[in-house]
């Protein structure tokens, strides 16, 4: 039997819990990707490109059964999504700040 992996705020670390966490992470990635409206250098919208890349990553990890590798993939994926969300929010706030400063609108 493989060793148990301790993940904070999670009581059971079996395949079913990893599967639920993977679905949750995938949905979070899709929700985050919706906010990327601009196009890459080839003219393809980033939200479509990000969704395709996420699908590829999840498909490649679909057959993984090792709980340590699954936990590492999930933790790394969650961390990456949170970093992207934070950077996006910072850039969004900076853009709005620049807009309000340039337009002379005061809050």
The model's pTM is 0.74
* Residues in the chain, total: 107
pLDDT digits (tens, 9 = 90+) for 15-63: 568 889 999 999 999 999 999 888 989 999 999 999 999 999 999 999 8
Tokens coding 41: 């250098």
pLDDT digits (tens, 9 = 90+) for 53-74: 999 999 999 988 888 999 999 9
pLDDT higher than 60, residue 12:
no
The runs of H, that is alpha helices, within the chain are 15-33, 46-60, 67-103
DSSP code of 10? -
pLDDT at 15: 57
């Amino acid at each position: 039997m493989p060793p148990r992996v301790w993940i904070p705020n999670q009581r059971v670390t079996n395949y079913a819990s990893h599967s639920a966490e993977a679905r949750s992470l995938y949905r979070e990635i899709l929700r985050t990707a919706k906010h990327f409206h601009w196009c890459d250098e080839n003219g393809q919208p980033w939200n479509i490109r990000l969704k395709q890349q996420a699908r590829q990553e999840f498909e490649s990890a679909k057959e993984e059964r090792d709980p340590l590798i699954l936990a590492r993939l999930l933790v790394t994926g969650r961390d990456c999504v949170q970093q992207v969300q934070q950077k996006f929010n910072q850039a969004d706030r900076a853009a709005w700040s620049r807009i309000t400063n340039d337009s002379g609108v005061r809050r």
